[in-house]
Structure formats: C-alpha cells, structure tokens
C-alpha cells in the first residue's frame, strides 16, 4: 500500500497509450498499464488485465489496484476504437462496439476507480477527439461515441467539483498510431459485409475521403503523450487540451454558422462535388 503518485492508463499497448506509459514512468509515477492482452513494459510498470468494454474486467482491475495503493493521482481513459464508413453501410455491431469502447468504457472505468481517485486527490483525463465536437462525414459512429465522452466529461466535472477532482479532455490530432491503420482495416471489413449495390452508392464518397485523408501528415505520438502528462502534473489543469489540427477542428469550426461549417467540412473531405 501507499505507492507514490500512482496512475492508471487504459489502452496502454499501442500508440498514444504506450508513449504515455513510458513518459509517466520516466517522470517518476507508479504506472498501472491497463491491457486486454499480455504486455511487457519492463519491471517498473504494473500491467493489469483490463478490457474497458467488459464491466467485470474493469471491476476486477479496480479491486486489484485498490489492494496495492491508497489512491490514484490520475485515471487516463485512453482506450479507443475507430471504424470509418457511411452510416448506411455500418453494421449495428460496429456502432455498438465504438460506443462500448469509446463512451461506455470510460464511464465504467470512472465509476469503478472514483473511490481511488477521490482518496488520492487525483483527476480524470479522458482522451477524446475533435470529432466529438464537430461531426465528420464517414466518421459518424466515432463522432457520436466521442460526443458522448465529451458530454460525460462535462457533466462529471460539475458532479465532482465538491471534491475538487478535475476532469480533463484531451483532443489529439491525426497521430502516427496503429489505431488509424486498424480503422482502415475495419472500414474494409465493413464494406465487404455490405451489398455491392450499396457500396456502389458511396464509391465516390470513399475515394474522395481517402484522397483527402492522404493529405494529412500524422504527428508523433510523443507530442500527445507530453500533453497528457502535462494535464496530469498541472496544479490547475485546463478543462481541455487540443493537439495539432484538433485546435482548428474543435476550436474554430464549432463557432462557424452551421451552413458555412457544413460547406467547409464537405470541401475538406472532398464531398462537395459529388452527385447522385
């Protein structure tokens, strides 16, 4: 009991999660790395079996960590999943999976770990996306799930104010991480499940979107990890930290009139010239 400055990171086995675990460890934190599968971060990191979409797994992880520490300095909800594609082609189970991992998962983690956060005078750090504030075409399921996380965070911030527990939202930009490669593979799987005639309706959309996304240069995961750790260490953290193009997408576009915002987004992803 009594390990100093203990933190939990979900989704720790790739990209932003792995970089965040490494940086927190270098900063002297006791790090609990939540992972669905076996992982090896070295002897100084505590790997905990944790599937955010499985409430029993979350409860077991909270019980395990609660038996080893008196409190947590932070819970970092980083686990996430992306499946791209038109709403009409997206199977219900893929919608459900994104909501379970991106929205219900963090809610479950927070619910189980709040006693440790409260006793540790810690904070909640939720890794969201700018698409939670500005819905993107062909990313409707992701946008819906992250909008849910945004709403959850804003409500929770007020609920936990009596205990002075900060609730922070991190908005990464496009990042060099496996989640985007997996998103592409998941999108291909969705298209294979859909009927040929349905897919044909959206061929121009998909081609334009792929071309537009090809123009984005992903940023390094280390930059996002640095922002997350800054939010963990700050005496008075901001409510929101946006990284790279997320500052424009989530900070500027919501302030535009709806019609202009729609035109900007449609142009940005190449959908403005598509005809039925």
Local mean pLDDT, 10-residue blocks, the chain (276 residues): 78 92 95 90 92 97 96 97 86 91 97 98 96 90 95 98 97 70 54 70 84 77 94 96 81 88 88 80
CATH: 3.40.1080.10, 3.40.50.720, 3.40.190.10, 2.40.160.40. Which one for 6-268?
3.40.50.720
Q: In what order do the strands lie in the sheet with 45-49?
A: 45-49, 30-35, 6-9, 74-77, 123-127, 167-171, 240-242
State CA 101 to chain mean position distance. 9
| 156 phi/psi in degrees, rounded to 5 | -65, -35
Residue 92, number of CB atoms within 10 A of its CB: 7
| 83 phi/psi in degrees, rounded to 5 | -130, 115
What the block records as the tokens of 5 is: 């400055």
Specify the DSSP class assigned to residue 176.
Answer: S
Which of 162, 136, 110, 140 has its CA nearest to residue 250?
136
- The residues spanned by each domain of the chain are 6-268
Which of 260, 254, 180, 188 has its CA nearest to residue 217?
180
């Amino acid at each position: 009991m009594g390990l100093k400055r203990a933190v939990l990171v979900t989704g720790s086995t790739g990209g932003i999660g792995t970089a965040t675990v490494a940086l927190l460890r270098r900063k002297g934190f006791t790090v609990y790395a939540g992972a669905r599968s076996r992982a090896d971060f070295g002897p100084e990191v505590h790997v905990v079996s944790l599937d955010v979409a499985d409430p029993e797994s979350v409860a077991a992880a909270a019980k395990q960590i609660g038996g080893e520490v008196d409190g947590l300095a932070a819970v970092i909800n980083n686990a996430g999943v992306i499946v791209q594609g038109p709403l009409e082609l997206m199977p219900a189970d893929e919608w459900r999976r994104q909501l379970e991992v991106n929205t219900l998962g963090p809610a479950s983690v927070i619910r189980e770990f709040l006693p440790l956060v409260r006793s540790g005078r810690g904070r909640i750090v939720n890794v969201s996306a700018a698409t939670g504030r500005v819905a993107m075409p062909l990313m409707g399921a992701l946008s819906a799930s992250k909008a849910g996380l945004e709403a959850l965070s804003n409500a929770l911030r007020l609920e936990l104010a009596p205990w002075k527990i900060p609730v922070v939202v991190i908005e990464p930009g496009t990042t060099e991480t496996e989640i985007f490669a997996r998103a592409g593979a998941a999108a291909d799987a969705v298209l294979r499940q859909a009927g040929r005639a349905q897919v044909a309706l959206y061929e121009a959309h998909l081609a334009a979107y792929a071309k537009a996304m090809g123009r984005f240069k992903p940023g390094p995961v280390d930059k996002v990890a640095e922002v997350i750790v800054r939010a963990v260490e700050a005496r008075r953290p901001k409510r929101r930290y946006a990284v790279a193009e997320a500052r424009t997408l989530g900070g500027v576009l919501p302030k535009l009139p709806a019609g202009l915002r729609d035109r900007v987004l449609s142009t940005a992803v190449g959908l403005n010239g598509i005809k039925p």
